[in-house]
Amino acid sequence: MAAGFKPLSGQQWRGSFSTVSDLLDGTLGRWKDDVVRQVFCAHEASMVLSLPLPRTVTADMLVWAATDNGLFNTKSAYQLVLSSHDGPSTSMGDDRGGLWSSIWKTKSIPRCRDMMWRICHGFLPTAVNLSRRGVDMDLLCPMCGEGNETTTHALLFCPAVAPIWFMSPLSFAFHGSQPANFSMEAWLRTLLDQKDEWVIDKVSTLLYAIWARRNLWVFDQRWLTLEQTLKRAAAMEVVKLDDFQGLGSAGLNIAQVDRQDVWQPPPRGSVKVNVDASFKHGEVVGTGMVVREADGGLLLCASGKMVGALSAAMAETMALRWALGLVLEMGNQWIVVETDCAVLHSTWRSAHHDRSYLAAVVQDCVALSTGFSSFSFVLVRRNANRAADYMAKFALSNLCFVWFGNFPMGLEHIIASDVSSLANQ
């Protein structure tokens, strides 16, 4: 299937099928396996059957495939048009191969790594780059109006940008005119070769924040101060892949973010539920859940297996849906649920206007959460969720089970370590 969810095989449909509902068994709440395999080729049928079915009934809607949330925006349409133009050659056989490898190995968050990659490819839609692709437009920089908007000018030497670099912890000086022999790619290559992750992370976040500031001005006429731009860059330095797998008081359906690096107990009278999934594309998903009381004592743990996840975020969402169903059956009414999946947590907060397939399954979880007297959904660091992570991996090589005692030995060691950490705080 293509990114827009359209079959690519060209196989002719056999039978009177016109909508997705014709492929569903409404009574059992699952795909009609034989019908799906009849309609699609083997590869596409496998992909369709791997899609988990939402349990919450929603109205049909139009979905824009070029955005993660399924909602149309002009930025995505603009990027879609740009991507249809051929860019410069990027053969991995040339000396750029090492540069691409160095970019992807940095510890910067993905969108900042992608920013550096696009800069080196010449894909950043500055006025000069767009003009080279046949777009008739004013070449002057929209931020300063004093020079043509090349990539180097827009990100480094623009008079409206250079002070940001000088005010940053890096104190880079890009004042004055751009040297004739200056190369943005060579500059980035030099920084990457030095392998100073602190410097690389700050450079990548500043590049992203500066370009985002430019876009806010061009498209929304919102002008960010130098201090606001530096603050946005600093915020991206905090949220790294090492801390989160991806994007948070008791009360109903409150989403929070807890940046503590160790497990924290729930309020008295509540229980804390940690959930995780072990996912590898094309394989069975392992799910894990651990329920603890305010004193850190283990009430129960569970492991499970399932199929039907095309991404890590979907696997985490399916694990959450499974865990909430189990906890509801146990009768607990005051709960705090923790995940280390930033994408799931972010989608939860925007699920009411998100049209993605992931959001449809998240809506199932939101519906289940209304069955509790008090419910909080919290994003935590990976280390604070290691007990659930252990159970998710345990599920892949062991029985799927719910334990109320005689817990797996490896889990008991983790619980004891978490309790010890609390005592030392």
Residues 168 and 265 in one domain: no
Could you tell me the residue range of the domain that residue 118 belongs to? 97-238
388 falls within a domain: yes
Averaged pLDDT of the chain:
80
Which residues on adjacent β-strands are paired with residue 303? 288, 401
CA angle 47, 51, 52 (to 5 degrees): 160
What whole-number distance in Å separates Cα of residue 316 and Cα of residue 326? 15
Domain boundary at 209, 238, 267, which? 238
For 277, other C-beta atoms within 10 Å of its C-beta total 31
Residues 418 and 339 in one domain: yes
Residues 140 and 185 in one domain: yes
> What average pLDDT score do residues 64-76 get?
76
Q: Is the pLDDT of residue 250 over 50?
A: no
CATH code: domain of residue 370: 3.30.420.10
Quick: pLDDT tens for 189-224: 888 887 778 888 889 999 999 999 999 999 999 999
222 falls within a domain: yes
What whole-number distance in Å separates Cα of residue 354 and Cα of residue 73? 13
Residues 292 and 403 in one domain: yes
Residues 313 and 181 in one domain: no
Altogether, the residues listed in the chain come to a count of 425
Report the candidate in 388, 316, 387, 374 with the shortest Cα–Cα distance to residue 346.
316
Domain boundary at 9, 28, 49, which? 49
300 falls within a domain: yes
What whole-number distance in Å separates Cα of residue 45 and Cα of residue 395? 27
Residues 269 and 215 in one domain: no
Residues 228 and 264 in one domain: no
Residues 263 and 389 in one domain: yes
What whole-number distance in Å separates Cα of residue 370 and Cα of residue 350? 17
Residues 280 and 232 in one domain: no
Contacts of 72 (CB under 8 A, 6+ apart): 64, 66
What whole-number distance in Å separates Cα of residue 364 and Cα of residue 315? 14
pTM of the predicted model as reported, rounded to 2 decimal places: 0.53
45 falls within a domain: yes
Residues 221 and 274 in one domain: no
Residues 228 and 369 in one domain: no
Quick: pLDDT tens for 380-391: 888 899 999 999
Residues 347 and 393 in one domain: yes
What whole-number distance in Å separates Cα of residue 248 and Cα of residue 336? 11
First to last CA, the chain: 51
Q: Is the pLDDT of residue 251 over 50?
A: no
378 falls within a domain: yes
Domain boundary at 207, 238, 269, which? 238
Domain count, the chain: 3
Please classify residue 315 by burial: count the beta carbons closer than 10 Å to its beta carbon, then call 0-12 exposed, 13-18 middle and 19+ buried. Answer: buried
Report the candidate in 223, 79, 228 with the shortest Cα–Cα distance to residue 143.
223
Min mean pLDDT across 8-17, 54-63, 299-308 is at 8-17
Q: Is the pLDDT of residue 184 over 60?
A: yes
